[in-house]
Amino acid sequence: MKKIGHLFKVAAVYFFTAIFASQCFAQSSANSTANIDKRSQQYMEMLNGVFDFVQRNYVDEVDPQVLYTGALKGMLSALNDPYTVYLDNSTFRSLNDTTKGKFGGVGLSISKPFESTPEKPAYVEVASPVEDTPGFRAGIQAGDLIISANGTDTSTITMDEVLDILRGPVGEKVELIIRRGKNIEFPVTLKRAMIEVPTVKYGTIKEVQKAGTVGYVRIIEFTPQTAERVQQALDSFAKEKISALIIDLRNNPGGLITSVVEVADKFIDKGPIVSTKSRLSFENSVYTASPRKTTFKSKVPIVVLINRGSASASEILSGALKDNHLAYLVGQRTYGKGSVQQVLPLSSTEGLKITMARYYTPSDTNIDKIGIPPDREVLFSEFGETGDKQYTELMKSGEIEKYVEQNHAGHDMTEAQIAAYAEKLHQKYDAIDLPTLRKLVRNEANRTKGAMLYDLDWDIQLVAALDILSTSRAEFDALVKNTKTLKELQEEAALKEGVAVFEQK
């Protein structure tokens, strides 16, 4: 009892002192830099005191790392900024891979089910091998299961633990057991190589009504290699003499500001591409286009595809092209992330990501929490409550997977067969539209071939872009010329909001 009483007194004295100190300096002036520094020092001393007290007196022994990471997460979450966060080992590694654009690995894009059951163990599945990598050269195919990695059953470990095995120092060996289909099982030894983060996919869409040959480039993410890969696409399109270009930025979460500036500079020959503004003078920058870096000079019509998954750097590119009247935007309003972050490593395995500035489009507009509206809105139909339930039921049933495996294993499924089976599914899942059902069947039928570059049967936004490009050049130029800059759109919205408020009063 004496010991408990003593601890209580220590705690009471400690917290009384802490509260008294906080009240004292909370009343002091916050305008003085010296006073702010003094308050910061006092807060740090209080934090250290709490850290020490908890570690010494909490009912159970506490790992100091738990308190450390908890304090960091709490401090950063207090800023109410979703982009200023503590980066744990997994997140820090993933972000490093993106910012560097390369990592040591075997070149397999993988997925892993969340649930593992005796009937269906959660083995790692190969979504696609990256071309010209160890996994690709070893003949590993999309749809293969990795049932063991370096002797460990992959159904018993997390995705992060799998990645820890597959990624690492270049030149080291990784031992895998691959299962293909139901009965084929074989070992594969891979030697890690430097793998490039997938960033750009491209091809052409030929003989599209009056549009002719349309170049299609999908930018997945902005890494140090993106500008070079975009240039490869543009060089390829020049040889094919495209008559129009579609830049697909849908579901592009962003990336490096330097990378997107390099890409934008290929299309914009003068003026600002983007500017950053901060309370720190060294974070204030204006990225300006240079005529000598402008490589896309064919002046063909350009359509940019956007959706609510287009964020940050992808909004910089779409905003720059829009404000310069160089492209027509089709799809859905973008996410609205108008801030710039910097990664601060705390060690080799963890770090912080902190917002340092906000960016502004060429018309001097920030789109944070607002997004960029398309010039032509095209929305996919929503299922509704019944459709959502049916979609969930269909996905859980594995019905499509079983059908394709039982009826089309080993040979291609034709579009007619895909359509016929989708019609059959539609009789049971009538709240799901037929194009979506055909897409689900098509995706499963092509699972061992990798993802399609585009799907004109299902993708109504891409089809709308092609329809727009099929108009005359004069009509397209008029469309783009008459679009409003982001500044004009925001001023117009503010004016309407002001009128509405006035009318309510």
Active-site positions read 312, 323, 337
Q: Which amino acid is at 295?
A: T
In 3-state terms, what secondary structure has residue 116? Answer: coil
- 302-306 vs 328-331, strand pairing mode: parallel
Residues 96-134: b if buried by 16+ CB within 10 A, e if exposed: bbbeebebbbbbbebebeeeeeeeeebbbbbebbbeebb
**Token pair in block for residue 313:** 């750097």
- How far is it, in rounded angstroms, from Cα 129 to Cα 107? 6
CA 34 to chain centre: 42
**Token pair in block for residue 128:** 């696609």
Q: What is the secondary structure of 132-152 as a DSSP string?
A: TSHHHHTT--TT-EEEEETTE
- How far is it, in rounded angstroms, from Cα 204 to Cα 46? 62
- How far is it, in rounded angstroms, from Cα 456 to Cα 467? 12
Q: Which contiguous run of DSSP H or E holds residue 393?
A: helix 384-397
Q: Which contiguous run of DSSP H or E holds residue 129?
A: strand 124-129
Residue pair 171/178 in contact (Cβ under 8 Å)? The answer is no
Contacting residues for 174 by C-beta, under 8 A, at least 6 apart: 106, 149, 150, 165, 166, 189, 190, 191, 192
- How far is it, in rounded angstroms, from Cα 110 to Cα 69? 29
DSSP state of 120: S
- How far is it, in rounded angstroms, from Cα 95 to Cα 59? 37
CA 316 to chain centre: 15
- How far is it, in rounded angstroms, from Cα 314 to Cα 108? 25
Q: What is the secondary structure of 8-59 as a DSSP string?
A: HHHHHHHHHHHHHHHHHHHSS-SS-HHHHHHHHHHHHHHHHHHHHHHHHHSS
**Token pair in block for residue 394:** 């269909």
**Token pair in block for residue 266:** 């290929």
